[in-house]
Amino acid sequence: MNASTGHAMFGETPPVRRKLRQEALAQWVFGAMAAAMIVPLLLIVGYLVVRAAPSLNLEFLLEVPKRGMTEGGIWPAFVGTLYLVFLSLAFSAPIGILAAVYLNEYARDNWFNRVINLAVINLAGVPSIVHALFGLGAFVYAARFGYSIISASLTLAIMTLPVIIAATREALASVPRSFREACWNVGATRWQTIWAVVLPNSISGILTGIILEVSRAAGETAPVMFTGVVFFKAVERGDLFPYYLNEQCMALSMHLYTISTQVPGVKESIPFATAIVLLALVLMVNAAAISLRVYLRSRKKW
């Protein structure tokens, strides 16, 4: 470490210099790789913002599409996405959490539970277009919900379920076993232990997992396009409750797809501004998840 004495005692021989050069090179390459991770994100966001700039204002969010969707805003699609996301989470979160509690706290290692585990893992790997077809067959046709918000959100719920289960299990597993043992040792049942010890200590992880699913649900096009999202539906400007649940709605992802592939003569900045809104929605939800996690962590006692 001491350069002057080091220099005096050991002169910088060529092998040492080579080693130092390699070291500098390695650091530079690895640093560049790390930087390369954020470059695409910055480029994407920057490019979108620049192209979207003429349309980026509150009016764009609140206004409905006009003149054959070539002008105006994206309100119906924005509200539609909110409907789909919250409704799908309302279905999948309780089921997913309860299933994860069972799998993590009650389930023994027998063939039945191994089958359930396998099913959860496989369900997570099913492509979204397959979920779409399943939703079409199960909810639209078989359950007779028709093309509707209900069908679409149930399809999304099934798609998000395995990830919620996985995230919840991970959160539950992170609670030290000694906590449970302490609780059992004072005579608590399994359920009392879960309710009083396990859930309060894992809630931040569970909620984060659920909220992160919002971004996935908001971004999916295929499952909702097959089951209850339409190309266009006329609603009032700024109307917070424009849809009944047995009707179809518009959604941001689908709207972005149609105005960029289907509608001629769309004002140039509109598709980009739509992408920005979708991206901002996802980033905001992620930020909410992170701050919630930080807040709940700060109250953790261990």
Partner 1 sequence: MRPAHRSSCFPQLGLAACAIALALQPGCKPGGSSGGSGGANPRITIQNKGSDTMVNVAQVWAEEYKKIHPHVDVEVSGGGSGVGIAALIKGTIDLASTSRDMKAEEKALAKKNTGKEPREFVVGHDALVVYVHKDNPLAEITNEQLADIFAEGGKITKWSDLGVKLPADRDVIVRVSRQSSSGTYEFFREHVLNKRDFKLGSRDMNGSKEVVELVGLTMSAIGYSGLGYNEPGKVKMLKVSPKAGQPAIEPGVATTLSKQYPIARPLLLYTLGEPTGELKNYIDWILTDAGQQIVEKSGYVPLRAGTSKP
Instruction: Rule CB under 8 A: choose which of 2, 241, 301, 302 binds partner 1.
Output: 241
Residues in contact with partner 1, shown as a per-residue x/- string from 36 to 75 under the rule CB under 8 A = -----------------------------xxxxx------
Cα–Cα distance, 251 to 242 (Å, whole number): 13
The strand pairing partners of 72, in sequence order, are 65
Cα–Cα distance, 279 to 262 (Å, whole number): 21
Residue 296 binding partner 1, by CB under 8 A? yes
Q: Residues with Cβ < 8 Å from 42, sequence gap 6 or more?
A: none
Instruction: Rule CB under 8 A: choose which of 258, 270, 277, 278 binds partner 1.
Output: 258
How many CB atoms are located within 10 Å of the residue 263 CB?
17
Least Å from the CB of residue 190 to partner 1: 17
- Please, which residue, 61 or 245, has the CB nearer to partner 1? 245
Least Å from the CB of residue 228 to partner 1: 9
Instruction: State which H helix or E strand residue 282 sits in.
Output: helix 269-298
Cα–Cα distance, 64 to 184 (Å, whole number): 58
Residues in contact with partner 1, shown as a per-residue x/- string from 145 to 164 under the rule CB under 8 A = -xx-x---------------
Least Å from the CB of residue 90 to partner 1: 5
Q: Looking only at residues 74 through 133 of this chain, which bind partner 1 when binding is defined by CB under 8 A?
A: 83, 86-87, 89-91, 93-95
Residue 203 binding partner 1, by CB under 8 A? yes
User: Which span (8-16, 30-38, 126-134, 225-233) binds partner 1, by CB under 8 A?
Assistant: 225-233
Residue 245 binding partner 1, by CB under 8 A? yes
Closest CA to 228 of 136, 162, 123, 164: 136
- Please, which residue, 251 or 273, has the CB nearer to partner 1? 251
Instruction: Rule CB under 8 A: choose which of 232, 237, 267, 293 binds partner 1.
Output: 232
Residue 200 binding partner 1, by CB under 8 A? yes
Cα–Cα distance, 272 to 60 (Å, whole number): 12
Residue 192 binding partner 1, by CB under 8 A? no
Residue 191 binding partner 1, by CB under 8 A? no
Task: Judge whether 131 and 151 are in contact, CB under 8 Å.
Answer: no
Task: Judge whether 280 and 292 are in contact, CB under 8 Å.
Answer: no
Cα–Cα distance, 138 to 288 (Å, whole number): 33
Task: Judge whether 49 and 62 are in contact, CB under 8 Å.
Answer: no
Q: Residues with Cβ < 8 Å from 204, sequence gap 6 or more?
A: 171, 292, 293, 296, 297, 300
Work out whether strand 65-66 and strand 71-72 pair parallel, antiparallel, or are unpaired.
Answer: antiparallel
Q: Could you tell me the end-to-end alpha-carbon distance of the chain, in angstroms, rounded to an integer?
A: 39
- Please, which residue, 19 or 66, has the CB nearer to partner 1? 66
What residues make contact with partner 1 under the rule CB under 8 A? 65-69, 83, 86-87, 89-91, 93-95, 140-141, 146-147, 149, 195, 199-200, 203, 207, 210, 225, 229-234, 240-241, 243-248, 258, 261-264, 296
